[in-house]
Structure 1
């Protein structure tokens, strides 16, 4: 398999650079834990064998078995509030003491309150909710509901997209590393190029990305029988931020052809863009919104499908039917997460932080030719490293070197597409810590640039 495919979602764990990093770990407890982990868990790309062994997670920090702390700028996108937020933990403990579980066929006030609050922050006509234990499951529910409503089973999605790792989710996903060796997948999926500003399939001399939306209409009209278009509002891993004009055009096309617009906001919801959800930042409203990850406050697996009352038409179909469908614990964590975001005014803070990060990264780009592009929104940013700004050749080796040097200096992030440093810190991060982390990334880039001949 092409190594580039393995690098699409994150930095791969099977390169010589990863082997050197693990071999450099001198702590005996860490070595023992990594050996045991490799022995008992199935190996898979980007996880086992693992990077390090943790013993703690608090606030913006991870702590490994050797006592080293990392500012976490990755967090699997669950750490909007960092780790172990006291308000979230307090609400969970209260719920554990009163109602720890709610079997299917029963409801509970915590679940009702959580659903109501989600409809309030989603806004518009998004006023119906269905919970699930994870984002992948929510994507499956959305695809099923779209089929039922439209009577059409075909779906359009984007190349390079990620919607989960189950068979239905990888069927609509656009990353080859998840489909490798899987054989036939869900029928009726058509993929189109994403709106990419820096190295897109159809670059525009005018800088516009609206023509990528026009390709959706072309496929809908040529293929026929399309029931849904699914996409991330903002591509999380390598940070692609389509324009508002693109999304408004997508909305118009879906309306004109009776195609359900499903926005996957699982990684970016709960404030990362400076709005509750990315569709609000883009000025549109989807027919279905998929959320998860940070919804559980970095503690409990929790996800939700939010849709419109007019689509409450499949009462005799089990769209989800999950054991933890109305989890009091998960809903308590989600309610607490929303309370913290509101009480600490984090949406405004994120927008202020975004301006600071943009200025810092643009300054780095001016000083380091290895940086081909910087892009982002809120507290989600990508630094694309290239060997040459004219050819835009991806700087795979340099990106790995920057990653491991940053880890050594105390900042953890992931690399997407092999050359994009993806930075997504907790929304609670203080400005001094944000500045320190960016200083470390800049130092790592500078050291790699001055120690490597990037033309070879």
Structure 2
């Protein structure tokens, strides 16, 4: 089968020659045999199969491969806020497996109600109704169906380059070409606008230029009377784009003005990643629907869902989800233990403090290395953007991939986003000393590449 050219997007390196060279130099013949067998049975797809390595253990902030090599995991698919094999989460799951491993539809259980109550207590304003699903993509589907039911309108506005999941409805509102390209007609009514950072790159630096996108959104909302929702990532986790508070303040005002629901996708960023339990808390707004997932299950159980305003409880006559694992007893136990661990161990405060450290340290690195065009940090989520020239901001794609593999060789794993952004997503339990160790590895790699 002919392999067409592939896009450099979210960690898209599994078809590159650089990967093959790294594997040949760092993996044993036994590991390569396992990878070949995996490739034989699993469908190939960008950013997945063929796989990079064989992992035999994940604990704390570390992955361990089949050859005994350990890696600090600053990728983790954004599920490992409380670290791998977190004892509290593991014990809660084991206990629930013994008590009641599965809750059939039509029934409830105190533990799922406890989780719903906890989310309602944590979320601001009147965000006090929930519905759970087994994964973030299906939670996006729930939100889109609820929007149609509540508003009677089928159109949505989202941004190019955004990611909201991999199903057909989710890639319709999403904006990444690696998911959308050559898929044929997508969901009708999925309109798009440029994201905040694109206006800055077109019109120049400064928050005012980024705000221009909302002028266009206002035009869209006034012109198109059948838009039911704006769906947006409050912080884009792939390459860490962080709009200012004023952006979301005005976005909330526009949605209210035109009777449009505001849906925020916090699947990879909620539960402490940014130093707050929910990202929208940074903006002092209350969205109509918050979509959660990934770290919600403590890095063990697939859990996702939506938290919505009380007034949106309007779908009793239809099934929004009706998923087999909609009210998972085991998933609820994992989620409750995860939230408790975050609260009891001060991980929100720790993430905020480490964000200050990361910002300072990465800014120092940018002053030393001309290949770094920008750094962006919020809590324990950071981006290092590599460029060939700071004036033109041309992407240093080859260098970014080389840096990633040099760091893997030294024991640090992270993802490359947008072709040239080193995206660091460390577990919230990562210490300052461990962060310093990881940043030293990146600096050494930058020196080798340049």
Q: Structure 1 length as normaliser, TM-score?
A: 0.96
SS of the aligned residue for 1:356 comes to: helix
Give the SS at the match of 1:8. Answer: coil
Pair 1:76–1:138, CA change in 2 (3 A): same
Query: Is the alpha carbon distance of 1:146 and 1:428 closer, same or farther for their aligned partners in structure 2, counting shifts above 3 Å?
Result: same
2:321 maps to what in 1? 320
Separation in 2, partners of 1:435, 1:234: 24
Deviation at 1:26, TM superposition (A): 3.9
| Matches for 1:423-442 after TM superposition, within 5 Å | 423-442=424-443
CA contact (8 A) 1:25 1:31 kept: no
Provide closer, same or farther for how the CA distance between residues 198 and 368 of structure 1 changes in structure 2, counting only shifts above 3 A. Answer: farther
The answer to whether the Cα contact below 8 Å between 1:12 and 1:46 also exists between their aligned partners in 2 is yes
Q: Aligned partners of 1:198 and 1:386: how far apart in 2?
A: 19
Moved more, 426-435 or 198-207: 198-207
- How many residues align structurally? 448
Aligned to 2:204: 203
Q: Distance in 2 between matches of 1:201 and 1:285?
A: 30
Deviation of 1:208 after TM superposition, in Å, equals: 4.8
The answer to whether the 8 Å contact 1:197/1:240 transfers is no
1:102-156 Cα distance to aligned partner (Å, 9 max, x none) = 0000001110000110111112110000000000000000000001111110000
Partners of 1:445 and 1:369 lie apart in 2 by: 10
Q: Deviations over 1:5-61 (max 9, x none)?
A: 722222321111112122224413211110111000000001100111000000000
| Separation in structure 2 between the aligned mates of residue 66 and residue 380 of structure 1, nearest angstrom | 29
3-state SS in 2 of match to 1:275? coil
Q: Which deviates further from its counterpart, 222-231 or 396-405?
A: 222-231
1:223 equivalent to 2:196? Answer: no
Secondary structure of the 1:196 match is: helix
Unaligned runs of 5+ in 2: none
8 Å contact from structure 1 (residues 6, 12) kept in 2: no
Shift in Å at residue 445 of structure 1? 1.0
Q: CA deviation at 1:212?
A: 1.9
Distance in 2 between residues matched to 1:246 and 1:296, nearest whole Å: 30
Query: Are the equivalent residues in 1 in contact too, given 2:200–2:206 (CA < 8 A)?
Result: no
Q: CA deviation at 1:234?
A: 0.1
TM-score, normalised via structure 2 length: 0.97
Tell me: CA distance 1:106–1:43, structure 2 relative to 1, closer, same or farther (3 Å). Answer: same
Q: Does 2:188 match 1:163?
A: no
Q: How much has 1:197 moved relative to structure 2?
A: 7.3
Which residue is equivalent to 1:124?
125
Q: Report the CA distance between 1:316 and its aligned residue.
A: 1.0
Match of 1:246 in 2: 247
Aligned CA-pair RMSD = 1.4
Contact 1:193 1:201 in 2 (8 A): no
Aligned to 1:269: 270
Q: Name which of structure 1's ranges 332-341 and 435-444 shifts more when overlaid on structure 2.
A: 435-444
Per-residue CA deviation, residues 348-386 of structure 1 (Å, 9 max, x unaligned), is: 110100000001100000000000000121111100000
Q: Contact (CA 8 Å) 1:212, 1:246: kept in 2 or not?
A: no
Counterpart Cα distance in 2 of 1:206 and 1:247:
12
* Residue of structure 2 in register with 1:454 after alignment: none
Matched with 2:182 is 181
> Following the alignment from structure 2 to structure 1, what is the Cα–Cα distance between the partners of residues 46 and 202?
27
> Runs (4+) of structure 1 moved beyond 4 Å?
204-208
Cα distance change on mapping 1:310 and 1:206 into 2, 3 Å: closer
Structure 1 residues 18, 26: closer, same or farther in 2, change over 3 A? Answer: closer
Residue of structure 2 in register with 1:258 after alignment: 259
* Structure 2 partner of 1:45: 46
Give the whole-Å Cα distance in 1 for the aligned partners of 2:289 and 2:23: 42
What residue in structure 2 maps to residue 351 of structure 1? 352
Task: Please name the residue that 2:405 is paired with.
Answer: 404
Distance 1:31 1:198, change over 3 A: farther
